[in-house]
Every structure is written in C-alpha cells, then in structure tokens.
Amino acid sequence: MSGAAIIIVFFVLRVLVGTIGVGGLGSQEPRDRIERDFGFLLLWVLLGPAWLASWVGGIVDLNPWLLGTALALTPVMLPWALCRRITMPLGLVRMTYWIARLSMYVLGRDRYGGPLLAATVAFRQRPQSERTRAWLRGRYEKLKELRGGSATGWAVLLDEDDDDREMGQSRMEAAAWFDWRVSPAVGRRMVGEWLACRAIEQQHWRAALAVARRRESKLFWAGPKVLQKLGVSVSELAQAASRGTLDVVLAATGSRPAFGGSPALEVTEAVAQRALRDAHPPAGVSLRLALLRCAHREQWQAVLDEVSASTEKRAQAPAPTGDALADAVTTHLFVKSRPVTSAVELHRFGRAWEDVLYRDDTRAALVGRARALGVNNPEQVFERIEGEVTDAIAALVGEVDMGRDIAEPSTLVTMAAEEVRDQRVEALELCVGQIAGRVAANRRLPTVDEFEEFAVMLHLYDRVARSAADGRELAYSQIGSQLTDWACWLWNDRQQYSLANAIFRFCAVEGLRTNHIELARINLDNIGCRGG
C-alpha cells in the first residue's frame, strides 16, 4: 500500500464519478436517477469495503497508514455529509467548494454551480475576508453555464451584501424558475426555505403559505407532450387560465412540490396557517414529525409558539368623529404608520378622502379658509393634496393584493392603482426594451449578470402584477415577445440553456395565465428543447 496507489485510485474514481449521472436539460428523470444511483452504487461497491476496512483496521491497529487512507477516502465516499456537517458550518469556503466538487450524488445536476452554492452557504456562516469574497465572486463569474444551483448561490451571495430586500427576493424567485434537471435538490430546497423564511420574517403569511404549498406542473418538465397525452390543447389551458382554474388543470397534468419535500416548509405551512387563523390547522402528529426532521427545531418551535400566542394585537382603526377632514387625515396617518392588510382597507381610506375632496360642503369650507389665508388658487392646493393622497395610495398599492371585486370601490384608489400600474409597466418596458436593445446589438453580459437582469425583470413584472388585477395582462402584452427573443438569444448564441429555459418557462406560464396562447405555445415548445 503506497500513497501513490491511493492517489491513482482516487483520480480514477473521480473521473468515473464525473462522467456518469449528470443531469441536463432534455434528460429524462428516471434515466437520470438510475445513472446517478448506479454511479453511486458502483463507487460504494468498489471502494466501500476497503474504506470501511481501513477505518476499522486503522482504529484497531492504530496504523497511521490505514487511518490516513481512510481519512483520504472520506471526501470521496461521503463528500456531501462532510460538507454539510463540518466544513459548511465552520465557514470553510474553499474547502467546502473542493469537497463538494466530489459530491456528484447530491450536486451532480449542477456540477460546478452546486459546489459554489455550498461554498456560498459556508461563506454566510461567519464574517469572511474580502479575498474570499472576491474568490467566490470570481468563480461565479467564470462559470460557463449558470444552472439552478449556481443561480441560487449567486442570489444568496448577493443578498449577503445588498440591502435591497425586494431584489433579493426576486433573485431567489428567479432561481426558482430553473428546471429541476439542472438544479440539485438541496438547492431547490434552499430556495423554498429561503423564500419561506423571508416571508415569515416580513410577516407575509399568505406569501409564506403560497411558498409552502407551491407545486410545479408536469408540463414544465415533460413539455407539451404531456398535453398531447392528456388531449388538452394550449388554448384550452389558456381558457382555463382566464377562468382562474389554470392551477386545477395544471394539477391534472401531474405535479409535485415545487421545492421538493422539506420539513421546514411543512412547518412554515403550519406557521402561516396559524397566523392566518386557518379553519383547519395542521394535524399535530405530522407537524411534530416535521419539526423533528427540521434542522433548527427549537427556533421553528419558537416561531410557531409566537404566532399562536399573538392574539389580535393589531392596532385599532381610528373611530370616525364626524369631522370629515380630521377623519381623513387621521386615517391617512393610521394607514401610513403600519402595514395595510387588505384592499378593502385601502378603499376605505380612499373614500375617507373623497368625503373631504369631493363633497361640496367640506370643500367649500376649505376653499373659504384658503381664501382667508390669501391663497390665489385653492384648486391648485387641492390638486396637491389629491396628489399626496394618490402618492400615499400608490405606495400602498402593491403592498396588498388589489383584488378584483371590491364592494365599495374608491375612485381615488382605483385611479391611483391604474396610475401606479402604468408607471410600473413603463419601468418594466424600459428594462425589457433595454435588454432587447442589447440582444439586437449582441452586447453580452457575464452570465451572472444576465441572470441578474432576469431577476430585475421578474421584480418589475411582479410589481406590475401586484399593482392591479389586470396588471399581469398588461405587463405580459407589453414584454412577452421581447423576453422570448432574449431567451432565444441566450439559448442559440450564448448556450445559456438553463437560464434560457427558465425564461421560457416564465414566458410560458405567464403567457397561459394572460391568455397569450400563441406566445405560450412557442415557449412551451422551447421548454421541450434539448440542450447542454
């Protein structure tokens, strides 16, 4: 037994592991899994006994050679465990990266990006030197293709030193659009848990619930073939979408949890349900089990306890006094000083101001006062107040889901929402227009930055979608085809298959939801493309 022999074996195995079981777009799930499992099995069959024996022998005989061999083989045999349990918690960035490179079983779908993700998680564990950060960034920037794992890692890395919360969120959402075939399962789980944690942190319980329950339709991994099998046409899907039953139909095509199984997400669901006072709180046993499986049992328990305990400590809306102006202004203050929870509340706020601004008696009284002060043009001041109110409303639009049918809608709110939506659409158009210009001029950005633009786009799109019930339709009608072009360019000219695929998926889903059948069909076809 010599060191040289060990090293040779090591490299042979390394090559072996490297060539098998790597997923990619176009690969089939079962086959992929078999290949991967086979590789792993082979490794264990070939080396497992020797490895175990050298541990046993080494410990029993206290033989330094045997112990050395055992230790040296450990990263090959159980690379992920080593990372997860030791190097990652210790924040050893480079070591995590190199060991994770051996972990084909867990990270094989993103062979280079997955280890980077692991290294980034390690990076997050403790304060790191500027050099380490630069090293990590450099690795990301050198990636030939950005896949799910690296996209997630990049999002985590940037969020670490970016104060822009919303962008952080969008980056993670962008990472979530990557296909499972190019995203290691741990990476997907990280995305889901990350989104869940953020939502909990911000007390966006509905968002938390949605993340915990998010499912992915089979359509997106099997492509339009599924439709053929089911005998459903794209236009039928789109019709379902416009009826609001898209999710039902998609579910019928087969689906699975979007982020894979995660106990943390199960707990999140329970937390959100409790916070929202759901009629059917989750059963005790499964929750207990999920908690047991969670990495941070105590903290999760604490979160759970806290939401259960927080009984209606919501601030009480100010009671009306009959003085329309004082009421409106006070409501204004109230609405501004804490998060608004519903569109109904927003509309009530709008109506309070309407009582001041558009009722003849209140308005006349104000005009009188203005004249007494020597205001030449009171109307102008009213316009400013209206502007102020509109701005306040605008700031809140998008915080709440604007919803479709409000019982007593406020014109001010409706108009402000429209205005906000238009402004946001304009920002989105500007962004996508800029991307289109870049594509036309063939100006290439480093891959991570192409991803960043996708995230920015998502962010702007999401803002539009939230600002009005019809925001999504408007947004998509303005940018859908340019986005498709961008993705095509990424695919054809830049071989960024995974990112392109993510954008196709986005375009397909949103195309269906907004009844752009034609674009949806094109993008569904594109999802089916093989690459890489």
> By CB under 8 A, what part of segment 124-163 binds other proteins?
124-125, 137, 158, 161-163
Q: Which of 373, 405, 407, 408 binds other proteins (CB under 8 A)?
A: 373
Neighbouring-strand partners of residue 215:
257
Q: Which of 102, 219, 517, 527 binds other proteins (CB under 8 A)?
A: 517
Q: Residue 140 Cβ, how far from other proteins at the closest point, in Å?
A: 11
Q: Is 439 in the site for other proteins (CB under 8 A)?
A: yes
Q: Give the number of C-alpha atoms closer than 13 A to the C-alpha of residue 431, restricted to the C-beta side.
A: 22
Q: Residue 478 Cβ, how far from other proteins at the closest point, in Å?
A: 5
Q: Please name which of 105, 46, 113 lies closest in space to residue 81, comparing C-alpha atoms.
A: 105
Phi, psi values for residue 21, rounded to 5°? 65, 25
Q: Please name which of 522, 531, 479 lies closest in space to residue 504, comparing C-alpha atoms.
A: 522
Residue with smaller CB distance to other proteins, 74 or 477: 477
Number of residues that bind other proteins (CB under 8 A): 99
Subset of 15-34 contacting other proteins (CB under 8 A) = none
Subset of 78-97 contacting other proteins (CB under 8 A) = 89
Neighbouring-strand partners of residue 216:
256
Residue with smaller CB distance to other proteins, 2 or 377: 377
Subset of 390-429 contacting other proteins (CB under 8 A) = 418, 425-427
% helix, strand, coil for the chain, step of 5: 75, 0, 25
Q: Is 2 in the site for other proteins (CB under 8 A)?
A: no
Subset of 178-217 contacting other proteins (CB under 8 A) = 190, 193-194, 197-198, 200-203
Q: How far apart are CA 183 and CA 152, in angstroms?
A: 9
Subset of 292-351 contacting other proteins (CB under 8 A) = 295-296, 299-300, 302-303, 306, 313-316, 318, 321, 323, 325-326, 329-330, 332-334, 336-339
For 211-354, strand residue ranges (E) read 215-217, 255-257
Q: Is 12 in the site for other proteins (CB under 8 A)?
A: no
Q: Is 494 in the site for other proteins (CB under 8 A)?
A: no
Q: Residue 523 Cβ, how far from other proteins at the closest point, in Å?
A: 11
Question: In angstroms, what CA-CA distances link 443 with 34, 128, 254, 498, 517?
Answer: 41, 34, 40, 19, 30
Is 429:478 a contact under the CB 8 Å cutoff?
Answer: yes
Q: Is 478 in the site for other proteins (CB under 8 A)?
A: yes
Q: How far apart are CA 197 and CA 188, in angstroms?
A: 14
Q: Is 121 in the site for other proteins (CB under 8 A)?
A: yes
Structure tokens at 519: 């674009």
Q: Residue 272 Cβ, how far from other proteins at the closest point, in Å?
A: 13
Q: Residue 50 Cβ, how far from other proteins at the closest point, in Å?
A: 33
Subset of 231-250 contacting other proteins (CB under 8 A) = 242
Neighbouring-strand partners of residue 217:
255
Is 328:350 a contact under the CB 8 Å cutoff?
Answer: no
- Residue 257, classed as helix, strand or coil, is strand
Residue with smaller CB distance to other proteins, 9 or 427: 427
Q: Is 456 in the site for other proteins (CB under 8 A)?
A: yes
Neighbouring-strand partners of residue 94:
none
- Residue 217, classed as helix, strand or coil, is strand
Residue with smaller CB distance to other proteins, 37 or 306: 306
Subset of 247-266 contacting other proteins (CB under 8 A) = 264
